[in-house]
Structure 1
Amino acid sequence: MAKSGQARVPTAEQQQHLFQVIQEHRHPEKNTAIMQISFKLGLRAQEIALLQIKEVAKLNSLGSGFKLLEVMSLPAAYTKGADAMNRSKTVYQRRTVSFDVETFNKIIKQVEILAKSGAAVNPEDFYPPLKKHKGKSRDLPMVDGSLREALTNYIQMRIAKGEVLKPSSPLFITQKGGSYSPNTLQEHMALMLRDWAGIEKASSHSGRRALITHIIHKQRKSVKIAQKIAGHVNPSTTLIYEDPPEAVLEDALNDLN
Structure 2
Amino acid sequence: MKQERKAPVLTQSQFKQVIAAARANDQAERNVALLYFSVALGLRAKEMSQLQIGDVLSPDGAMKDEVLLTRATTKGGKQRLVYLSNRDVRKALGAYLDHRRKSEPTSLHPKAPLFRSRKGGGFTPNTMQMLFKRMYRAAGLDGASSHSGRRTFATSLIERGVDIKAVSTLMGHSTVAMTARYVEDNPIRLRRVCEEVSVGV
Alignment of 1:76-225 (within 5 A): 76-80=71-75, 134-164=76-106, 165-193=108-136, 195-216=137-158, 218-225=159-166
In the other structure, the counterpart of 1:110 is none
Post-superposition CA distance 1:133-175 (Å, at most 9, x none)? x311111221111110111111111111133122111101111
In the other structure, the counterpart of 2:174 is 233
**Do 1:8 and 1:200's aligned partners in 2 also have CA atoms closer than 8 Å?**
no
**Do 2:9 and 2:184's aligned partners in 1 also have CA atoms closer than 8 Å?**
no
Alignment gaps of 5+ in structure 2: 192-201
Provide the secondary structure at the position in 2 that maps to 1:158. Answer: helix
In the other structure, the counterpart of 1:25 is 25
Task: Give the TM-score taking structure 1 as reference length.
Answer: 0.68
In the other structure, the counterpart of 1:104 is none
2-side partners of 1:242 and 1:139: how far apart?
21
In the other structure, the counterpart of 2:58 is 58
Post-superposition CA distance 1:42-70 (Å, at most 9, x none)? 0000100001112111143xxxxx21111
> Which structure is larger by alpha-carbon Rg, 1 or 2?
1
**1:223 Cα shift?**
1.7
Identity %: 32
Task: Give the TM-score taking structure 2 as reference length.
Answer: 0.86
Q: Which amino acid aligns with 1:70?
A: D
Alignment of 1:237-248 (within 5 A): 237-244=178-185, 248=187
**Do 1:22 and 1:28's aligned partners in 2 also have CA atoms closer than 8 Å?**
yes
Q: Which amino acid aligns with 1:72?
A: V
Post-superposition CA distance 1:64-118 (Å, at most 9, x none)? xx211111221121114xxxxxxxxxxxxxxxxxxxxxxxxxxxxxxxxxxxxxx
CA RMSD for the aligned pairs?
Answer: 1.9
Post-superposition CA distance 1:200-244 (Å, at most 9, x none)? 32111111110101112x112222111101001233211212441
2-side partners of 1:53 and 1:76: how far apart?
18
**1:4 Cα shift?**
4.3
1-side partners of 2:103 and 2:59: how far apart?
16
Provide the secondary structure at the position in 2 that maps to 1:58. Answer: coil
Which deviates more, 142-151 or 236-245? 236-245
Q: Which amino acid aligns with 1:38?
A: S
Count, aligned residues? 187
In the other structure, the counterpart of 1:121 is none
**Do 1:56 and 1:71's aligned partners in 2 also have CA atoms closer than 8 Å?**
yes
Report runs of 4+ in structure 1 exceeding 2 Å deviation: none
2-side partners of 1:196 and 1:59: how far apart?
37
In the other structure, the counterpart of 2:69 is 74
**Do 2:151 and 2:183's aligned partners in 1 also have CA atoms closer than 8 Å?**
no
